[in-house]
Structure 1
Amino acid sequence: MSKKERPTKERSKGFLGIIENVGNKLPHPAILFVILALMVIVISEIAVRAGLAATFVDARLGEEVTIEAVSLFNGEGLSFIFNNATTNFTGFAPLGTVLVAMLGVGVAEWSGLIGDALKKLIKSVPTALLTSVVVFAGIVSNIASDAGYVVIIPLGAIVFAGAGRHPLAGLAAAFAGVSGGYSANLVIGPTDALLTGITNAALESANIDYEMAVTGNWYFMVVSTFLLTIVGTIITEKVIEPKLGEYKGSYKPDDEPLTDLQHKGLKLAGLSVLVYVFIIGLMLVPENAPLRALNEDTGLMTMDNFLSQGLIFAIFLLFVIPGFVYGKTVGKIKNSNDLVEGMTQSMSSMGGYIVLAFFAAQFISYFSYTNLGMILSVNGAEFLESVGFTGIPLIIAFTLLAAFLDLFLGSASAKWAIMAPIFIPMLFNVGLTPELTQIAYRIADSTSNIITPLMSYFAMVLVFMKRYEPKSGLGTLISTMLPYSMSFLVVWLIMLIGWYFSGLPIGPGSYMTF
């Protein structure tokens, strides 16, 4: 064994190596979801017999709600299992998002546009900044809601492979940015509006005369964007890449220099993107633009519907149009058959994801139907409320609890709707603002997303990983992402504590204490 090889092998025997080995000895992820679903069926019956229930004030409804455990191990539960198997699958949120986006990405990839564009990008971006660019792009992509999952993460792997680095390191860096940094950004996005709406509903339900602005966390989130970019870069280069070692998989980047025809194709493809973006802008920006819709709460014409529902199709076109232009220019696409071939090849590579998504959808649906995740969240919140912490210890304990609960209840809005009516008034009464409470929750929710299989896009990331390392499994993904999760959580909490004692505003006119 050479000295150069020894550190990698030693690292594989450490804590992360144990997690990876244990995780990879588990059954195939699809079968694992089957086992977990069977466990939920059994546990739900035990929970019903034990009389497990929880009462809380739902911020979205503004009223007290009592939920009881629901069994899947009876006639009604078995009917739910059989009657909803198909709709669980077709209604699985990431399924349509991923497949529609990948149709467009498939054309751009098959035509050669993505590979050649990234080849040019890699040459223009300094090697020392490549990791930072991938992490940063992942973080700011959340302005487009979930689009970063299906665009930035696979591109991160391709960019690293093209630069002669391990593609899984690029995938991990992008995943850490997109999901681990989901609450950070430079501009106000859909997540800010969604969570702030629930926070204000919780304040109203507690008869507290206070309203949080949607910009209440803005300054903190801007600084978080750069902090997480730095931390994500360090973890990727100092921990993940040494752990992964040299890439010996079958994927080989094309090192041939670009031809004049390829350069021409890139220019025309870039021009087509500019024209497309300009047209979309005309349909979005003017006050009465066709892609705007009336927001009944504000009475204003907004682009909220487009961002939440229409953006994925817009991304589909964003890849199809330049992909077609590039393929036509370089001669890869000669007719409509070639265009469809690009989409077909893309879908054939998603077969593993479709199978995995079917079983993941069943498990997540069962877990939601039985109310087990919500009961755990409510009882956990009530336990923390009874401990009697105040100030920073309370904030830290709340953040850690929310991070733990995120492993079992993936939806950020559903979990916040449960926790906000409990913690917003509780922390308000000890002099801590709703802005601070919401920040602590967002930190917890983001940092746990990248290590829980209950996160909707976790299965998709695992499939992307298998493209480059077919033998990788659930343990590989979790052990790879755990250093990001722990580092983001610790560093973010330190920043939160420092900001708390500094007394600086965390948004326009918003502070952490009264």
Structure 2
Amino acid sequence: MSAGTGQRAAAPGPSTQKPRGIDRVLAFVERAGNALPNPVVLFTVLFGVVAVVSTALALADVSVTVPGTDDTKQITGLLTGAGVRWLVENLVTNFAAFPPIAAVLLMIMAVGVAERAGLLETAMRATLARAPRAFLPYLVALVACQAHMMSDVAAIVLPPLAAVVFKSAGRHPAAGLIGGFACVTAGYAAGFTIGSLDALYTGITQQAVAVLSDTHHADVNILANYFFTAASSLVLGLIGGFLISRVLEPRLPAYTATADAPDASESEDIRLTPAERRGLLCTGLVVAVYAAVVLSLWLPNGAPLRGEGGALVPSPLLTGIVPVLFGGFLLAGVTYGFTVKTLSGSEGVVAAMTDSVKNMSGYVVMMFVAAQVIAVFNWSNLGVLLAVKAAALLKSVGLTGFGALVAFILLVSCLNLVILSGSALWSLIGPVFVPAFMLLGMSPALSQAAFRIGDSATAVITPMNPYVFLLLALLQRYEPEARLGTLISRLAIFVVPFLVAWLGILAVFYGFDLPLGPGAGISLK
């Protein structure tokens, strides 16, 4: 936040200006977010609350009957003899068997190799470098809506790159900078690319489904939202391009080069060298061969990756898609790195994988505590009780269909202003709302798709997003007088259009009962 603090000090007379409404709202959000503890502490407190509540309900002999069944579940308390024995016997297992851990780390290792090799940035530059001036905003927005594959690195790499590309095309560089960041952030959970984010969401959803595992069965794989996110990225790319070109750019002050602004010669940096072009070509050929091999093991009759009875969906390919994607990313990163010599033999590959896992240490610690909370939810049957009560509440107020999803998305959008971590937020509310919506006949894939919307749309305007302050520092290279409020007001134009468009897309899938992904429908099977 040092960039934001520094810019406030430099601004002329900020203390004499009456705070505007947006400034007061942002100040409130920032204070509320700062008041929240670290996610690890938050989950630790929640673990204590669950332990006490489950024990109190168990002593009160509370039970719950799952609607539509004769199955009555007794609430069991963690702070009892049986609870202590269960925790001691299962503490390690709860963590080791937590689905997000292995899948996310596996994807992070493979994507880390591709990132260290320079493949992801080179592919992005190759996409943007020669785009026609008129189509440049739309291409930037479309690429940005796929960028979650690069994880948080996308918010650092793509915006300044888009600014340079805009400047080289004779357009306002700040439009590329701000528009690129807005589309990366507000469209973060969209895309027809698959990455660690998909593995993270899916793993937590699988654990949430387990709350009703005895009475309801639903399979969720990493491609459960693929059709929805792919369609969303195309629509959001068009909307984002329109907003950049027709709304954001015309309202920017005239650009005047300053001493701190990137020199025009930086436009040369976006052009690929012969070695980079050769690397992309070799990588494309290798990945094409890999994809052909995978498809040959899945599509033909009698292929080993076909499902029961020769079915394409469901099949071992879908349930095992994470290892398949791991192999594809790893092969692509290694091929490109060896071709352009950004990776030095096997030691370079191992170092890239190791460094990428090191950066996930905070996530692993948080997931250890989150795994225990969700496990206690399931074992104590407290999750079932909350899900049944939540479903009953939604029915009592008349929210049993798409209206319930809209209310849920708006709730997530508000919570996302102060809890920016998608894994933390989904771990907190998924075990309640996934089974609650299942009791209303909605599939876990639908709940996850709805969460994606709320988890993305408002992240672009919250002061809790550390990359907002990095963006401000970059913006001041083009507009030295820019302040945080100015930046937020420009980013805010993307929130409502993206949220409305995404709700519209979900409404189409919901209304026409379209599959959200391979084998993942709207309704619970």
- Per the TM alignment, residue 99 of structure 1 is displaced from its structure 2 partner at its CA by 0.8
Alignment partner, residue 289 of structure 1: 303
Q: 1:332 and 2:333 equivalent?
A: no
Counterpart AA for 1:347:
V
Inter-partner Cα distance in structure 2 for 1:69 and 1:236:
53
Give me the whole-angstrom Cα distance separating, in 2, the residues matched to 1:312 and 1:77. Answer: 34
The equivalent residue for 2:388 is: 378
- How many correspondences in the alignment? 414
Does the CA contact (< 8 Å) of 1:44 and 1:370 recur in 2?
yes
Deviation at 1:331, TM superposition (A): 2.0
Inter-partner Cα distance in structure 2 for 1:254 and 1:51: 72
* Separation of aligned partners in 1, 2:508 and 2:329: 43
Deviation (angstroms), 1:25: 2.9
1:100 paired to 2:106: yes
Structure 1: segments with no counterpart, 5+ residues: 139-148, 180-189, 195-203, 205-216, 243-247, 425-436, 453-461, 470-480
* Structure 2 CA distance for partners of 1:445 and 1:267, relative to 1, 3 Å: closer
The match for 1:67 among 61, 65, 73 is 73
Match of 2:119 among 106, 113, 129: 113
Question: Which of the numbers 138, 146, 150 marks the counterpart of 1:129?
Answer: 138
Residue identity matched to 1:339? V
Partner residue in 2 for 1:346: 356
Any residues of structure 2 matched to 1:51-450 within 5 Å, and which? 51-57=61-67, 63-125=69-131, 126-130=135-139, 132-134=141-143, 137=146, 154-155=153-154, 158-164=157-163, 165=177, 169=182, 171-177=184-190, 255=269, 257-294=271-308, 299-386=309-396, 389=398, 395=401, 398-399=404-405, 408-410=429-431, 414-420=435-441, 444=450, 446-448=452-454
Q: Deviations over 1:162-190 (max 9, x none)?
A: 324368645523434269xxxxxxxxxx9
Residue by residue, what CA displacement relative to the aligned partner does 1:120-154 show, whole Å, maximum 9, x if unpaired? 2232454412454146547xxxxxxxxxx665665
The 10-residue stretch of structure 1 (274-283 or 20-29) with the greater mean CA deviation from structure 2: 20-29
Gaps of 5+ in 2: 1-9, 164-176, 193-201, 207-215, 217-224, 253-259, 261-265, 413-425, 459-463, 472-490, 516-522
8 Å CA contact 1:131–1:173 kept in 2: the answer is no
What is the SS of the residue equivalent to 2:46?
helix
State the one-letter code of the partner of 1:128: P
- Does structure 1 conserve the Cα–Cα contact (< 8 Å) formed by 2:279 and 2:340? yes
For the Cα contact (< 8 Å) 2:146–2:233, is it kept in 1?
no
Residues in 1 aligned to 2:226 and 2:347: alpha-carbon distance in whole angstroms: 48
Map of 1:28 onto structure 2:
38
SS in 2 for 1:67: strand
Contact 1:161 1:253 in 2 (8 A): no
- Taking structure 1 as reference, are residues 260 and 136 closer, same or farther at Cα in structure 2, changes over 3 Å only? closer
Deviations 1:395-445 (A, max 9, x none): 46544566569863348764443222xxx9xxxxxxxxxxxx999978755
Q: Under a length normalisation based on structure 2, what TM-score does the superposition of the two structures give? A: 0.62
- Structure-2 residue corresponding to 1:432: none
Sequence identity, in percent? 26
Give the 3 Å change call, closer, same or farther, for CA 315–226 of structure 1 in structure 2.
closer
SS at match of 1:318: helix
**Bigger shift: 83-92 or 126-135?**
126-135
Cα shift readout 1:475-514 (whole Å, capped 9, x = no counterpart): xxxxxx99999877766667889999xxx96669xxx9xx
Question: 1:90 offset after TM fit, Å?
Answer: 1.4
Q: CA deviation at 1:447?
A: 4.0
Cα distance in 2 for partners of 1:438, 1:88 equals 21
1:498-509 pair list within 5 angstroms: none
* Partner SS, residue 163 of structure 1: helix
Which amino acid in structure 2 is aligned with residue 270 of structure 1? G
Q: Deviations over 1:177-235 (max 9, x none)?
A: 269xxxxxxxxxx9xxx9xxxxxxxxx9xxxxxxxxxxxx9999998776555667789
